[in-house]
């Protein structure tokens, strides 16, 4: 049994490394670079509690008198703080590591949430047509009538109203995921619906329908793969948007609690210090965010081209 | 076509009704308008009296019913803060937002489509890779940070562009335009780029993705086999076929550009509807918030209508199907 | 010969004066918000009243150092403790050319107390206002009131005929259903006229040629633009698009000063920022301590006080732009403020006080904080949370925009356990502070903004005596006694008076008033 499993694993591994996917990956230097960078950022975020020099969320360990210390290589730098400290005396490096952790978690979770919701509804809408389509698209319009930021504000506000005060802090991140996730599904749905409407009239789908394949099967096996290109474009960009929406929500004062800042909150706080010369408070988190989003996007670009059989 | 349009219009009204409902449900979580309308020394009793007078203590359905009744007559009430009819205020602010939004959409299209076509045609070219990477940077930073960095660079350090406002505006029968003066145009550059950057990247990548797909299809191969020139194939056949999703997205994006103008207008102190709206959130000016949301909803509904109609023009198959269904 | 020379010199001087007045001196300035409206009784708020203070005038006015100066009243006398007589200035015109007289004062006294006015506190409803002759008015109060006129610099006199003609006899109100003429037009007696206004976009002022006083400014036109975003406002100043902008965020002061041609004018403001505790409830709303209220225990309040390192806040959060305060009022407004000293920063003592009170391991408490109301309000709260964490108190900070914050903490809900708030007494007097913040809550009466209901009947008694005491020394003694009780009982934690930071171009000279009102008639432009 165990030998069999091991064999299978080896077989899978061999197949993966022999695949076109792996080949096209290794061929594109910029993609490899992006993957390495993304992996470093994501891994260091995941292991932040173990690799960060300090715990930036432990208020009793930070000292206000350490605040606004520049990075170690500048004049007045302090060897304890490699990238300097922020306006409260938090170690920037630790804050960035822990902040990325929150941002990445919020970003990925809300994109998955949007994607599943949007793709499902889009397929249903495009394939079923008629009343179902009209209903879903009207909901989409209602939602589109509000800027994503506002939807997030609304959900955040309603949650604040519903949740008891001492739960709010713990659930702040989940509320954000829900808020950003719900605010983003429409794009997927519109795009999938558009492709579905085109695809479903093509001969191969009609043929499949004629020979009695279940509509669900047709949608998943035949229509969805064809809509995958645009979905990936949107998903990669949406990951960036999700992280940035989180930052913008913080900019408007409703994000995560300021005592446990995300990457976006750090940028927002640092933003106030851009003119005054304490650039490290905003530039380091900003650069981390930009690098992370950039590499994720580059990976998305490559993935889209590589997974599209027509482009090979 | 007519039946379809009428049906869509009816649905649109329903949409607006729901927008109003949801918006109204949201207002109670934004704050208490009364505290923003009076000075700190005003007594609690006077505050309560004002609350009663404004009908804020009435049950939700009464407040909502009153609002809808008035809104049908295009009366959105008097702003709590400015004590001025809201419709008037929004109409006065509309030109600023529309000029900014349309200009950023144009910027996004005029830069995004050619870049998308180029990167689609020259998939592995060096310049394509540069375009792809550079365009990503624009969406890797939050809008407010891009705006502030632009101000810092072009207004503070270089001193070539104004840091805020619309510059000189000319009044054309109630429509204040900044498009006719040098100062007005200069003031438009940074906000329009800030606002359009994200859309530009989106459009460019979309056009590229669609171009790549279409170029591999059989009928393009046939077209080439028929000996049509490269440019005829690329632009006459390929680009035209990428238009369905591009129209959808661009149309939808115009609405979200107007909505997203909120942040850009705040950063550049651009006197448009978005800024008015954000200020009204801060001061819990419910009549302005309600009117703005309804307005935005209307924009979207109209845009969606137009996008759906354009579908007919671009893709004949949809026309036939809808025509048969006769909805 | 000598005479001729003088004549020539005079003529030359006149020519120069003419030439100077001929070339335009435009003042472009920016604030973070706009006046809510132009009705002088519409909103009791510093900026709205300050901007209108350039257009309208009261019977008195405040000088650059907030000293009381005669304005529309030339002089006044107290005939008996309950009867004040004001002699009005003659020959004063409103901007529309109408003459100012006693009828306008009597009318304005009625209008400011009418429904819809937000400045009803300027004159109590019981006060009778009687016209003696065309330029004399008596104010008859039910009891002695030594500070009757202290708030009248912002009780602006309106033109009776003008308001009647334009149907603006009542103050602007949302519920009236129509625009109020006075909220969009102005007609004062002040040095500037509003010639153009687009709410939240810009307001244009021109000097009023017929002003009764001699102008000290050389402004020929002034344009006010609200710029909400801090960074954009600073950028506008740095790039020379505006000549004056305020407030400048404390961290940007260095940048503005380093920039060629701009600098920051700093000074103390009157507003006192403080922390308050819920001492009224039997159990805190937001705490893990159940069945009792830890803040009822003086040792817990003292522990919190001793845990706050005010110098660190001053140095790091406020960048030295704050004056730590031991009492709940600005030292500028109370003569005996020097007698008070803050309880020392002493985390060890704080910790032992806390364990004496039975909280050796600390406890959890929710804290409310605005994040767009006061200078660096949110940062102060985070810093305080950190300091309290060091003595074992876990603070759950809820920092919100002011609209949400005030809804939560102000009455009737008083939904808070521990909060940060700021207060400026509108009358520039301690009685206002005692009555609003320090007296026991009474429905419809005192203690309206005593959110945590600190209550000491002796202090209440002192407050009542302060109201009617006309002897200044005795009065200040009683105020000091009241503040002393509060100080000894750790009723509040006063933090500091925040500082003013006005950014300006070097071309501009101006006077900075501690009440944060910008008066354009002290402006000179090179």
**Mean pLDDT of successive 10-residue stretches along chain B, which has 327 residues:** 74 78 74 77 79 82 84 83 86 90 89 88 82 76 82 85 84 80 89 89 83 78 77 73 72 75 87 87 83 81 74 59 39
What are the DSSP calls for A163-216, one per residue?
Answer: S-HHHHHHHHHHHHHHHHHHHHHHHHHHHHHHHHHHHTTSHHHHHHHHTT--HH
Interface test with B, best of C46, C172, C229 (most B CBs within 10 A): C229
CATH code of B245's domain: 1.10.3720.10
Interface probe with A: pick from C238, C247, C251, C283, most Cβ of A within 10 Å: C251
Residue at B281 is within a domain:
no
DSSP-derived secondary structure for C316-379:
IISTT-EEE-SSSS-GGG-GGGGG--PPPP-HHHHHHHHHHTT-TT--EEEEEEESSSSTTHHH
pLDDT of A6-36, one tens digit each?
677 677 677 666 666 677 777 778 888 888 9
- pLDDT tens-digit readout, C441-453: 987 678 888 999 9
**Pairing state between β C128-133 and C83-88:** unpaired
Separation in Å, CA of C414 to nearest CA in chain A: 15
Residue C312 — pLDDT band, cuts 50, 70, 90?
Answer: very high
Chains with ≥3 CB–CB distances under 8 Å to B: A, C
Per-residue pLDDT tens over the stretch C136-171 = 999 999 988 888 888 899 999 999 999 999 999 888
Which range in A70-74, A123-127, B181-185, C492-496 is most confidently predicted, on average pLDDT? C492-496
Q: Which residues in chain A are contacts of B23 at CB distance < 8 A?
A: 146
Q: Check B144 against A197: CB less than 8 A apart.
A: no
Closest residue of B to A308, CA-based? B213
Question: Which of A166, A168, A253 lies at the smallest CB-CB distance from C371?
Answer: A253
Please state, in angstroms and as integers, the Cα–Cα distance from residue B41 to each residue in A72, C44, C334, C438, following that order.
50, 8, 20, 14
Contacts of C235 in chain A (CB under 8 A): 275
| CB-based contact C239 B275, cutoff 8 Å | no
Q: Least CA distance to A271: which residue of chain B?
A: B145
pLDDT of residue A19: 66
* B12 is a domain residue: no
CA dist A256 and C427 (Å) reads 40
Cβ neighbours for B6, distance < 8 A, ≥ 6 positions apart: none
Q: Which residues on B lie below 8 Å from C236 (Cβ)?
A: 155, 163-164
Interface probe, candidates B83, B148, B270, B278, chain C, greatest C C-beta count within 10 A = B83
Residues of A in contact with C400 (CB under 8 A): 253
The domain total for chain B is 1
C235: nearest CA in chain A? A275
* Rounded mean pLDDT, C359-376: 90
Q: Which of B26, B33, B38, B40 is the best mutation test for C, with the most CBs of C within 10 A?
A: B40
Cβ-defined contact of B78 to C200 (cutoff 8 Å): no
The reply to whether C172 touches chain B by the CB within 8 Å rule is yes
Is A290 in Cβ contact with B263 (below 8 Å)?
no
Whether residue C128 lies within 8 A of chain A, CB to CB, comes out as no
Domains of chain C, residue spans: 3-243+507-525, 268-499
Residue B105 lies in a domain: yes
Interface A-C: count of C-beta contacts within 8 A: 81
Which residues are paired to C78 by β-bridges?
Answer: C84
Q: Does B209 contact A229 at a Cβ distance shorter than 8 Å?
A: yes
**Cβ-based contacts of A275 with chain C (< 8 Å):** 231, 234-235, 238, 251-252, 255
Distance from CA of B82 to the nearest CA of C (A): 6
A167-223 pLDDT, tens digit per residue, is: 666 677 888 888 888 888 888 888 888 888 877 777 887 888 888 888 778 777 777
Shortest Cα distance, chain C CAs vs residue A169, angstroms: 8
B248 within a domain of the structure (yes/no): yes
Task: Tell me whether strands C394-400 and C364-370 are parallel, antiparallel or unpaired.
Answer: parallel
Looking at residue A160, what is its pLDDT? Answer: 63
Q: Which CATH superfamily, name and number, covers C3-243+507-525?
A: Periplasmic binding protein-like II (3.40.190.10)
Q: Is pLDDT at C495 greater than 90 in this prediction?
A: yes
B149, closest residue in chain C (CA to CA):
C231
For residue B287, tell me if it sits in a domain: no
C contacts of A276 (beta carbons < 8 Å)? 249, 251-255
pLDDT (0 to 100) of residue C171? 86
Query: Is A273 in contact with C251 (Cβ distance < 8 A)?
Result: yes
- Contacting C residues, span 282-321, partner chain B, CB-CB under 8 Å: none
The answer to the question of residue B18 being in a domain is: no
Q: How confident is the model over C463-483, as pLDDT tens digits?
A: 999 988 888 899 999 999 999
Query: In the structure encoding, which two tokens stand for residue C50, read together?
Result: 């300050």
C3-243+507-525 shares its CATH topology with C268-499: no
pLDDT value of residue A222: 75
Query: Any idea which residue has 């890779």 for tokens?
Result: B129
Q: Give the contacts of B160 (CB within 8 A, at least 6 positions apart).
A: B154
Provide mean pLDDT across the span A279-307.
80
Mutate which of A103, A135, A137, A142 to test chain B, going by most B C-beta atoms within 10 A? A142
Greater confidence (B178 vs C338) lies with C338
What is the per-residue pLDDT across A104-150, written as a single tens digit (0 to 9) for each?
888 889 999 999 999 999 888 888 888 888 888 878 876 766 666 66
Report pTM: 0.81
Dump the DSSP string for A18-65. HSHHHHHHHH-HHHHHHHHHHHHHHHHHHTHHHHSSS-TT-GGG--GG
d(CA B266, CA B269): 5
Distance CA B247, CA B253 (A): 10
Q: Tell me the per-residue pLDDT of C20-32, one tens digit each, with 9 for 90 and over.
A: 444 678 999 999 8
- To the nearest whole Å, the CA of A136 is away from the closest chain B CA by 12
Q: Which residue of A has its CA nearest to B262?
A: A147
Q: Between chain B and chain C, how many beta carbons pairs sit less than 8 Å apart? A: 139
The better pLDDT of the pair C19, C207 is held by C207
Say whether the peptide bond before residue C412 is cis (omega within 30 degrees of 0).
yes
Write the ipTM. 0.78
Residue B313 has a pLDDT of 64
Touching check for C397 and chain A: CB below 8 Å? yes
Identify which has the larger pLDDT, C109 or A291.
Answer: C109
At residue B321, the pLDDT reads: 46
Interface test mutation site (partner A, options B9, B130, B142, max chain A beta carbons within 10 A): B142
Put simply, the chain C residues between 387 and 446 with a CB less than 8 A from any chain B CB are 401-404, 406-407, 410-412, 423, 426, 436, 444
C439/C482 Cα distance (integer angstroms): 10
CA-nearest residue to A254 within chain B is B30
Q: Tell me whether A271 touches chain B (CB under 8 Å).
A: yes
Residues 466-525 of chain C whose Cβ lies under 8 A from any Cβ of chain B: none
Length of chain A: 312
Among B4, B13, B29, pick the best mutation site for testing chain A contact (most A Cβ within 10 A). B29
Q: How far apart are CA B311 and CA B161, in angstroms?
A: 41
Mean pLDDT confidence for C503-509: 94
Contact B296 A147 (CB under 8 A): yes
Are C200 and B164 within 8 A, CB to CB?
Answer: no
Residue C75 structure tokens: 């002089």
Residues 327-386 of C with CB under 8 A from A: 366, 371-372, 378-379, 382-383, 385-386
CATH of domain C268-499: 3.10.105.10
Which among B14, B22, B144 is the nearest to A248, CB-wise?
A: B144
Which chains border A (3 or more CB–CB pairs < 8 Å)?
Answer: B, C
Which chain C residues contact residue B163 at CB under 8 A? 232, 235-236, 239, 241
Residue A150: its pLDDT value, please?
67
DSSP H or E segment with residue C266:
strand C262-277
With CA atoms as reference, report the closest residue to C251 among C385, C384, C376, C421: C376
**B182 domain-assigned:** yes
Structural domain for B267, as ranges: 86-271+304-326
Q: A-chain residues within 8 Å CB-CB of B327? A: 130, 134
Q: In this structure, are strands C83-88 and C262-277 parallel, antiparallel, or unpaired? A: unpaired
**Contact check, Cβ <8 Å, A141/B15:** yes
Rg (CA), chain C: 25
Give the closest of C378, C383, C396 to A64, CB-based. Answer: C383
């Amino acid at each position: 049994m165990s030998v069999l499993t091991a064999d299978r694993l080896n077989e899978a591994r061999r197949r993966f490394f022999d695949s076109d996917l792996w080949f096209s990956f290794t061929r594109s230097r910029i993609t490899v670079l992006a993957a390495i960078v993304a992996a470093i950022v994501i891994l260091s975020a995941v292991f932040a509690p173990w690799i960060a020099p300090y715990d930036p969320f432990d208020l009793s360990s930070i000292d206000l008198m350490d605040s606004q210390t520049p990075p170690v290589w500048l004049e007045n730098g302090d060897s304890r703080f490699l990238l300097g400290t922020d306006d409260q005396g938090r170690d920037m490096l630790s804050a960035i590591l822990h902040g990325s952790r929150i941002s990445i978690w919020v970003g990925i979770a809300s994109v998955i949430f949007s994607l599943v919701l949007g793709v499902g509804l889009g397929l249903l809408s495009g394939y079923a047509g008629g009343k179902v389509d009209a209903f879903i698209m009207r909901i989409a319009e209602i939602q589109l009538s509000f800027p994503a930021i506002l939807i997030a504000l609304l959900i955040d506000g309603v949650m604040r109203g519903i949740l008891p005060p001492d739960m709010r802090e713990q659930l702040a991140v989940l509320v954000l995921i829900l808020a950003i996730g719900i605010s983003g599904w429409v794009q997927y749905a519109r795009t999938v619906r558009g492709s579905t409407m085109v695809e479903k009239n093509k001969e191969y789908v009609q043929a499949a329908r004629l020979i009695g394949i279940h509509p669900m099967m047709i949608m998943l096996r035949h229509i969805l793969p064809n809509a995958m290109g645009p979905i990936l474009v949107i998903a990669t960009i949406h990951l960036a948007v999700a992280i940035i929406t989180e930052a913008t929500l913080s900019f408007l004062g409703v994000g995560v609690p300021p005592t446990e800042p995300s990457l976006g909150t750090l940028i927002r706080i640092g933003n106030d210090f851009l003119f005054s010369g304490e650039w490290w408070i905003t530039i380091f988190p900003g650069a981390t965010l930009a690098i992370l989003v950039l590499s994720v996007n580059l990976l998305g670009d490559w993935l889209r081209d590589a997974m599209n059989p027509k482009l090979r | 076509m007519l039946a379809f349009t009428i049906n869509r219009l009816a649905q649109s009204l329903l949409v607006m009704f729901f927008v109003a409902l949801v918006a109204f449900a949201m207002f109670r979580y934004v704050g208490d308008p009364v505290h923003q309308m009076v000075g700190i020394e005003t007594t609690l009793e006077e505050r309560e009296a004002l609350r009663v007078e404004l009908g804020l203590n009435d049950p939700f359905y009464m407040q909502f019913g009153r609002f809808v009744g008035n809104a049908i007559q295009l009366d959105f009430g008097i702003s709590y803060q400015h004590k001025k009819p809201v419709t008037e205020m929004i109409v006065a602010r509309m030109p600023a937002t529309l000029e900014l939004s349309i200009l950023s959409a144009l910027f996004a299209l005029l830069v995004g489509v050619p870049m998308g076509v180029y990167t689609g045609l020259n998939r592995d070219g060096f310049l394509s890779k540069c375009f792809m990477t550079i365009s990503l940077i624009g969406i890797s930073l939050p809008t407010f940070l891009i705006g502030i960095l632009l101000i810092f660079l072009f207004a503070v350090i270089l001193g070539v562009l104004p840091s805020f406002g619309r510059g000189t505006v000319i009044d054309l029968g109630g429509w204040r335009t900044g498009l006719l003066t040098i100062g007005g145009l200069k003031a438009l550059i940074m906000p329009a780029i800030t606002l359009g950057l994200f859309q530009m990247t989106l459009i460019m990548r979309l056009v590229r993705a669609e171009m790549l797909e279409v170029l591999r299809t059989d009928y393009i191969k046939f077209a080439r086999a028929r000996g049509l020139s490269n440019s005829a194939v690329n632009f006459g056949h390929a680009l035209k076929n990428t238009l369905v999703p591009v129209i959808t997205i661009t149309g939808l994006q115009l609405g979200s550009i107007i909505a997203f103008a909120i942040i850009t207008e705040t950063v550049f102190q651009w006197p448009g509807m978005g800024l008015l709206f954000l200020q009204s959130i801060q001061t819990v000016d419910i009549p302005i918030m309600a009117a703005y949301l309804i307005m935005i909803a209307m924009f979207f509904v109209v845009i969606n209508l137009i996008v759906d109609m354009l579908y007919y023009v671009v893709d004949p198959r949809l026309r036939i199907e809808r025509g048969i269904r006769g909805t | 010969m000598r005479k001729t020379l003088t004549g020539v010199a005079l003529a030359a001087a006149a020519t120069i004066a003419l030439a100077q007045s001929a070339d335009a001196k435009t003042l472009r300035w920016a604030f973070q918000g706009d006046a809510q409206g132009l009705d002088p009784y519409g909103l009791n708020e510093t900026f709205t009243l300050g901007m209108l203070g350039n257009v309208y005038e009261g019977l008195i006015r405040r000088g650059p150092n907030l000293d009381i100066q005669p304005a529309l009243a030339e002089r006044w006398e107290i005939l008996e403790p309950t009867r004040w007589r004001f002699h009005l200035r003659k020959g004063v015109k409103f901007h529309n050319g109408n003459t100012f007289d006693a009828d306008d004062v009597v009318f304005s006294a009625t209008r400011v107390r009418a429904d819809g006015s937000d400045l009803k506190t300027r004159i109590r409803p019981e006060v009778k206002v009687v016209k003696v002759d065309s330029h004399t008015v008596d104010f008859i109060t039910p009891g002695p009131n030594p500070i009757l006129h202290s708030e009248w610099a912002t009780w602006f006199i309106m033109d009776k005929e003008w308001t009647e003609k334009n149907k603006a006899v009542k103050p602007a109100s949302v519920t009236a259903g129509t625009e109020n003429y006075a909220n969009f037009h102005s007609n004062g007696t002040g040095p500037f006229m509003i010639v153009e206004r687009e709410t939240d976009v810009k307001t244009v002022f021109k000097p009023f040629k017929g002003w009764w006083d001699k102008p000290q400014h050389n402004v020929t036109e002034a344009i006010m633009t609200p710029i909400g975003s801090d960074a954009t406002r600073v950028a506008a100043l740095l790039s020379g698009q505006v000549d004056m902008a305020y407030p400048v965020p404390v961290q940007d002061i260095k940048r503005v000063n380093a920039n060629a041609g701009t600098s920051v004018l700093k000074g103390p403001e009157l507003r006192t920022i403080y922390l308050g505790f819920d001492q009224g409830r039997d159990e805190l709303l937001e705490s893990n301590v159940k069945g009792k209220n830890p803040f009822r225990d003086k040792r817990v309040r003292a522990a919190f006080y001793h845990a706050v390192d005010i110098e660190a806040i001053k140095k790091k959060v406020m960048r030295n732009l704050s004056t730590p305060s031991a009492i709940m009022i600005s030292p500028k407004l109370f003569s005996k403020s020097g007698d008070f000293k803050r309880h020392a920063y002493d985390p060890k003592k704080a910790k032992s006080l806390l364990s004496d009170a039975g909280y050796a391991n600390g406890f959890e408490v929710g804290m409310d904080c605005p994040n767009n109301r006061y200078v660096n309000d949110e940062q102060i709260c985070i810093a305080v949370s950190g300091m309290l964490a060091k003595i074992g108190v876990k603070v759950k900070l809820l920092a919100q925009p002011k609209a949400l914050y005030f809804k939560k903490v102000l009455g009737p809900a008083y939904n808070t356990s521990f909060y940060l708030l700021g207060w400026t007494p509108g009358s520039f007097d301690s009685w206002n502070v005692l009555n609003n913040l320090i007296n026991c809550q009474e429905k419809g009466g005192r203690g309206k903004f005593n959110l945590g209901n600190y209550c000491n009947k002796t202090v209440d008694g002192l407050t009542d005596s302060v109201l009617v005491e006309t002897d200044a020394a005795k009065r200040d003694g009683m105020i000091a006694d009241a503040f002393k009780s509060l100080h000894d009982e750790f009723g509040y934690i006063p933090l500091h008076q925040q500082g003013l930071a006005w950014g300006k171009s070097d071309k501009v000279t101006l006077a900075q008033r501690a009440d944060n009102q910008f008066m354009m008639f002290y402006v000179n432009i090179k």
